[in-house]
């Protein structure tokens, strides 16, 4: 067993304010016994403009955001999966939307750059991440005490082939900032599908509420078990979702319904 936690935030355009909120919620999660903590996508900044993230982009291994995550993991003696932060891209005027995994000593265990970039246009709502973000091109997992953890970010959730390419995971994480419109329609369905088809837990940490920039995010941070059952969920607002990863349950489900062994078509693509 391992207790895990998903942090839900309603991030603002003020990085210092968001750092303080993240510190408070991470500390609450660790003090409640969680050993693996997940932050949401864009936790350090929900800017007034898409380009605001360029102003806080950091080089790998250097910067306030990375120092904060490493220091928190070390001081709390936990694994922190750092939602997403902007790292500098080789493409001028763009960033990488990156998840960094810090071990309990505050060292980086894994780095994943978001592969699938969100685009949505309906009425007054318009989003096009490719204008300011460079897509990643690698599937990334990290080994933990409970087994393999697969890394993904938000819009990746709509692409099941990414998760197949991870191999057999005990846990998939999905830090997100789903819009209210798309979240209301598809969030729970997609998360439960990824858990059921991969026969593993799914932990999703979301942005959840009305932001200063006018954007409204869906929230509903959640832990889902390998049978597709919701273990714990938070609808809106700041808070923490807790739950246990039971490796015996994963094994029992895979033995009674060996769907992963029954596959006939193998995935290919990203390295």
Q: Per-residue pLDDT for 180 more than 80? A: yes
Boundaries of every domain in the chain: 2-256
Q: Per-residue pLDDT for 65 more than 90? A: yes
Model pTM score: 0.96
Please, which pLDDT band fits residue 268 given cuts at 50, 70 and 90? low
Please, which pLDDT band fits residue 45 given cuts at 50, 70 and 90? very high
pLDDT digits (tens, 9 = 90+) for 199-226: 999 999 999 999 999 999 999 999 999 9
Q: What per-residue confidence (pLDDT) applies to 134?
A: 98
CB of 198 within 8 A of CB of 148? Answer: no
> Once rounded to an integer, what is the mean pLDDT over residues 252-258?
97
Q: Per-residue pLDDT for 6 more than 80? A: yes
Structurally, what CATH architecture does the domain formed by 2-256 represent? 4-Layer Sandwich (3.60)
Q: What per-residue confidence (pLDDT) applies to 139?
A: 98
Q: What is the spatial distance between Cα 248 and Cα 2, in angstroms, rounded to a whole number?
A: 12
173 is written with which tokens? 């994480």
pLDDT digits (tens, 9 = 90+) for 108-151: 999 999 999 998 888 877 779 999 999 999 999 999 999 999 99
Q: Per-residue pLDDT for 231 more than 80? A: yes
Q: Spot the catalytic one: 35, 94, 111, 154.
A: 154
153 is written with which tokens? 């970010």
Q: What per-residue confidence (pLDDT) applies to 24?
A: 98
Q: For residue 240, give the nearest of 17, 15, 11, 32 by alpha carbon.
A: 32
pLDDT digits (tens, 9 = 90+) for 13-33: 999 999 999 999 999 999 999
Q: What is the spatial distance between Cα 164 and Cα 141, in angstroms, rounded to a whole number?
A: 12
Q: What is the spatial distance between Cα 41 and Cα 84, in angstroms, rounded to a whole number?
A: 5
Buried b (16+ CB within 10 A) or exposed e, 189-223: ebbbbbbbebbbbbbbbbbbbebeeebbbbbbbbb
28 is written with which tokens? 């609450």
Place of tokens 């390419």: 165
Q: What per-residue confidence (pLDDT) applies to 100?
A: 98
Q: Per-residue pLDDT for 271 more than 70? A: no
Place of tokens 């900044």: 45
Q: Per-residue pLDDT for 71 more than 70? A: yes
Q: Spot the catalytic one: 35, 58, 94, 114.
A: 114
* Residue 154 falls in the annotated catalytic set: yes
* Residue 50 falls in the annotated catalytic set: no
Q: Per-residue pLDDT for 270 more than 80? A: no
pLDDT digits (tens, 9 = 90+) for 235-250: 999 999 999 999 999 9
123 is written with which tokens? 């009425």
* Residue 114 falls in the annotated catalytic set: yes
**Summary mean pLDDT of the chain:** 96
Q: What per-residue confidence (pLDDT) applies to 145?
A: 94
Residues 6+ apart with CB under 8 A from 88: 57, 58, 59, 95, 96
């Amino acid at each position: 067993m391992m207790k895990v936690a998903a942090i839900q935030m309603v991030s603002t355009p003020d990085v210092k304010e968001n750092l303080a909120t993240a510190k408070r919620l991470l500390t609450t999660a660790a003090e409640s016994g969680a050993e693996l903590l997940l932050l949401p996508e864009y936790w350090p900044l929900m800017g007034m403009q898409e380009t605001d993230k360029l102003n806080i982009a950091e080089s790998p291994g250097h910067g306030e955001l990375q120092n904060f995550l490493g220091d928190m993991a070390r001081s709390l003696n936990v694994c922190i999966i750092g939602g997403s932060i902007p790292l500098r891209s080789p493409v001028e005027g763009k960033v990488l939307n990156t998840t960094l995994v810090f071990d309990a000593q505050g060292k980086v265990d894994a780095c994943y750059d978001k592969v699938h970039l969100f685009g949505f246009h309906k009425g007054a709502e318009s989003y096009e991440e490719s204008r300011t973000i460079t897509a990643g091109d690698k599937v990334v997992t990290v080994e933990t005490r409970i087994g393999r953890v697969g890394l993904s970010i938000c819009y990746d959730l709509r692409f099941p082939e990414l998760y197949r390419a991870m191999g057999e995971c005990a846990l998939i994480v999905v830090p997100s900032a789903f819009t209210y419109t798309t979240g209301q329609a598809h969030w729970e369905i997609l998360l439960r599908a990824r858990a059921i088809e991969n026969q593993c837990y799914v932990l999703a940490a979301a942005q959840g509420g009305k932001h200063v920039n006018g954007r409204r995010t869906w929230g509903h941070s959640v832990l889902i078990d390998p049978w597709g059952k919701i273990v714990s969920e938070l609808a809106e607002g700041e808070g923490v979702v807790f739950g246990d990863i039971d490796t015996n349950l994963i094994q029992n489900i895979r033995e009674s319904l060996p769907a992963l062994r029954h596959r006939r078509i193998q995935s290919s693509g990203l390295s």
